[in-house]
Amino acid sequence: QVQPAESGGGLVQSGGSLRLSCARSARTFNRDVIGWFRQAPGKDREFVAAISRRLSTTLYSDSVKGRFTISVDDAKSTVDLQMNSLKPEDTATYYCAFQSAWHRISARVLKAYDTWGQGTQVTVSS
């Protein structure tokens, strides 16, 4: 497996929950920073959350803070995004991505990430 692989997307009602997983590959296994981004139809890809494995530091966009939680599961070699209290505006394709070094500014920047998954669709119905 070369690319990271996202899973866990699906259709859920507003107020519901989903848990996304990003399987770390041999290429990304030792990368420190993992980010989740999302892209809705017709919109730019945007930052959702990021985590530093070494520092155990997390960062969230204002739109998901308090509802989403990013975590690393070393036993399963995944990086998970627990999404609670989902809203229709959370509907998007969700991507995980990797970069090598943590910085609070670059953790939010799409171009700072050099390895991307294929994405998993999340649809929240009203």
Mean pLDDT, 10 residues at a time, the chain of 126 residues: 84 98 86 96 97 95 98 92 98 96 93 94 97
Which pLDDT does position 26 carry in this prediction?
A: 81
The pLDDT value recorded for residue 83 is: 98
The predicted structure's pLDDT at residue 30: 83
The residues, any chain, with a CB within 8 Å of residue 48's CB and separated by 6 or more, are 35, 36, 37, 38, 60, 61, 64, 68, 81, 94
**Coil, helix or strand at residue 90:** helix
- H-only helix segments in the chain: none
